[in-house]
Structures are given as structure tokens and as C-alpha cells.
Chain A
């Protein structure tokens, strides 16, 4: 590619050839032409735009709240569900416009949020009686299907993330509807969430997995204390607290297998609380509380060093 270029057309042809040969896109060219001051100005502009958008949304929300009592049922549904549908449609249309790339995720998220709220407003205005959880199932079921279809069509991580959130909310409502207790709902959702995050980790949409691993492990960690009837504040006669370390080991094990720092954080935190529980319930009176606290401090320092070393082995993963 060393031939001399003399005309504008020849230069254009050569540029296109170079782009084709090295896989350079128009976005890369635009990025290359942007100067440092442009980038800085762009960031300030973006910040101001987001701030402005937040204020507009806040204003609309406050106004809706002020006039809510004077609105008829249909108007309430239009204000909430209608705004949601408009924002969602705008977000979907913005996907295909390169200039609006940054607006897509906020528009889709706001649209999905307002649509969910709007469907609840619809139920509150037009459906009376019945089981509360059936209403939740209907709303989150509809949202999960809509978002899953959107994801299927557009293949975007944000849509996949929102679809999974709606699915999890649907399963939570369904489990509550069949009479399951909150601690077991948390356990089922936690295990299911870990499995979903594990599966997504092997796809191009893996950006959402650190959040998934964190929330799922947190659900399991919290549920473990309730299921085993462990309390730091009251003394329970029938507690299975001695089983807590199994959950700590399982959570740390999952984090190592998935190479997830967020799951590791939760696992180590669970281990901290487990050590605290054991110190409080079994060693407090035996060796004296101050000594037990010092011993626990050393154990926690050891655990934190272990966690940092383990986390380094995960590479750049979240």
C-alpha cells in the first residue's frame, strides 16, 4: 500500500481498502478524529444531559404525584403504563440509530420500570379482590415475556438483564403463591440465579454476570441463616447453626469454580458471620468475651488475606 495518491477519489479508494483489510469501522475513524478536549467536553455534556433528563423525569413524577388524586382510573393507567410503553418503544427505535446509542439503555430501563408500575396501577384500578401474588405473577409474567422477546430480536445485554429480573420476580411471586416461605424462596432463587449466571458467563452477554453472582449468592447466604434458624439477637432452642460452615464453603467453592469476585465477597462475608456466630454461641463464656473477640479478629485477618489471594487468581473477571 505504498502507491502515490494524487486525487481525492484515489485517496477515498485507498482508505476504503485499508479499512477493509484491517477491519476498521466508521466508529473507529470517528473515535480517532475525536481530540482529548472533545472527549472531556463530551463527558461534561453527557453528565449534564443525564442530570437534565433526571430532573425532567423527577418533575414529571412529582407532577403526576400532585395530580394523582384528581385523575380518573383510565387517566392513571395512561400516565403510568402509557409513559412506560412510549419510553420502551423509543428505546427500541434508538437501538438502530448510532447517534442515540447511549440513550438506549436508560430508555429501555425506564420504559420497563414504568410499564411494570403501570400494569400494577391497572390492576389496582380495575381488578378487585383475589390473591395478591396472582396479580404479581400476571404483571411480571407479561414483562418477562415482552423483554425476552425483545432480547431474542435485538440481542442486547441490557434487554437480557431486564428479562431475567422480570423472570426472577415472576418466580418469586409464584413461589409465594404456592405457599412457600420467604427463606426457601430466597434459596430457590439463589440457586436458580447462580445457574443462570453460570450459563450466561459463557455467552457474549457476560457483562451482567457479576451482578447475578452477587445477588444470587447473597440470597443463598441470607436464606441460610433463616433456614437454619440462626439469630444473633435471640437464643433459639432448636437452631441448626452448626451447619452454617457448609454454606460458607459452598459459596466460596462456587466463587472459585465460577472465578467470580462478587460471589467470593459474599462467601467470605458469610464466613465472617459464621465465625462471629460460633464465637458468640460457643466460645464467649469459655474463654471470656475480650479474648474471643481478639481470636475472631485474627481469624478474620487470615480470611481476608486468603480472599485477596484467591481473588487475584481470578484474573480480570468480575
Chain B
């Protein structure tokens, strides 16, 4: 392979090399941005109510810096069966440590009416900063953006992403969203 051969096939070489160059440049700039941004300090806390209508049985929110969970039995659908295991999740993006606690229907649950239920540990003792942005500046980004469009359907990209935390160009994948209709609600950020 010599210079003349490359010149004779300039279009072919450009078609192969330029996309690879683009990938390298974008990937490299992302890596540089990642190195310049410090690791996240706070732990992201969210509820994953699954795909089988867990959101109709459990209500999870943050009140006065603490997680509150309420549950109810459905009037029309009979007894609740946990097909997708509604869960509370805490992820430390720096260490990759993940804590989970499954939500189970309490004995005192009433049909058609939400009642308070005990929050499982370690989530009960956590102090939560409510909202999408942590005190250290990291923000939750849900990468699933379904705008529609043929190109997005055929060529993919971003749609298979999930829950990221992001700061100044550094993006850390925290959870995948498969399938896309999973009910994932961000509760806030736990103190380190």
C-alpha cells in the first residue's frame, strides 16, 4: 500500500477513515471531559416500580428528607401479584455499589385506598436531597427520548440508554431502562 494507491482511492479511503476519525474525536473529547470532572459524592436513590403496574399499588415519595411509601390493593384486579418486583434502589456511581429493597404488599393494605407502610432498610434511615440535581452538581438524565422518526427507529442511538447522571459532559450510566416503559422515578440523592 503506497501513497499513490491511497490517492487513487481517495474517496474510498475517506469513506472508511472519516467516520472512524469522527468516532475517535468524539470519544476522546468525552474521555478528557470525564477526567476533568470529579467523581460524584452523593448516592442516587430511585424507585423502580417495574412494568406490571406497580405504580398503581405503591406510591413512593420524599417527605422532609426521608422516603415515604404507601400501598393499596386494587379493587378491580384482585390480589396484587409481584411480577416485576417493585424495588427501591440506591446506586453509588463512583464505586458501582448498588443497594436494593423489594417492596411487598403489607398485611394492613386496603382495597382502593393508600395506607402508609414501613420503609425497608437501609432506605428508612437515609437522608435524601430531593430533586434531579445533587448538591455536588450531578444531574439525572433519562436518556430515553422517544421522538419517533424512521432514522431513530432504524439506526437506534440513545434509545437503549437508561438513567445517567451527568455533570459538565461527564455521563455515568446508572441503570438501563429495558423495556422502555419501566416506571422509574428518581427520588433524590442520599448523603455519603
Interface residues of A (CB under 8 A from B): 131-133, 167, 171-172, 174-186, 188-189, 192-200, 202-203, 219, 222-223, 225-227, 231
Contact = CB atoms under 8 A, between A and B. Distances in A.
Contacts of B23: 171, 174-175, 178
Interface of B: 8-16, 18-20, 22-23, 26-27, 30, 148-161, 171, 173
A193 B23 CA distance: 16
Tell me which of B22, B30, B159 has the highest count of chain A C-beta atoms within 10 A of its own C-beta: B22
A193 B14 CA distance: 10
B151 A195 contact: no
A185 B154 CA distance: 10
B26 A182 contact: no
Contacts of A203: 9, 12
Contacts of B18: 192, 195
Contacts of B156: 172, 176, 182, 185
Contacts of B160: 132-133, 176
Contacts of A223: 151
B151 A186 contact: yes
Nearest to A184: B157
B171 A179 contact: yes
Nearest to A148: B16
Tell me which of A186, A189, A193 has the highest count of chain B C-beta atoms within 10 A of its own C-beta: A186
A220 to B, nearest CB: 10
B157 A180 contact: yes
Nearest to A234: B148
Nearest to B10: A199
Nearest to A168: B19
Contacts of B30: 178-179
B155 A189 contact: yes
Given A131-B173, A171-B20, A188-B22, A182 B12 contact: no
Contacts of A182: 149, 151-159
Contacts of A219: 151, 155
A189 B8 CA distance: 22
Contacts of B159: 182
Given A174-B23, A179-B161, A181-B157, 9 more contacts: A133-B160, A175-B157, A188-B22, A194-B15, A195-B18, A200-B12, A223-B151, A225-B150, A225-B151
Nearest to B27: A178
Contacts of B27: 177-178
Nearest to A195: B15
B155 A193 contact: no
B9 A181 contact: no
A192 B19 contact: yes
B98 to A, nearest CB: 12
A174 B21 CA distance: 11
Contacts of A176: 155-158, 160
A192 B151 contact: no
5 contacts: A131-B173, A177-B27, A192-B18, A198-B11, A199-B15
Contacts of A185: 151, 155-157
A230 to B, nearest CB: 9
Contacts of B12: 195-196, 198-200, 203
B154 A186 contact: yes
A195 B20 CA distance: 14
Nearest to B145: A181
Contact of A188 (B13, B19, B149): B19
Contact of B19 (A132, A133, A189, A222): A189
A137 B15 CA distance: 18
Contacts of B15: 192-199
Nearest to A236: B147
Contacts of A179: 26, 30, 157-158, 161, 171
Contacts of B14: 195, 199
Contacts of B20: 171, 174
B29 to A, nearest CB: 10
B155 A186 contact: yes
A132 B161 CA distance: 9
Nearest to B164: A179
Given A176-B156, A176-B157, A183 B13 contact: no
A188 B155 CA distance: 11
A240 to B, nearest CB: 14
A197 B171 CA distance: 36
Contacts of B8: 202
B5 to A, nearest CB: 11
Given A181-B158, A196-B11, A199-B13, A175 B19 contact: yes
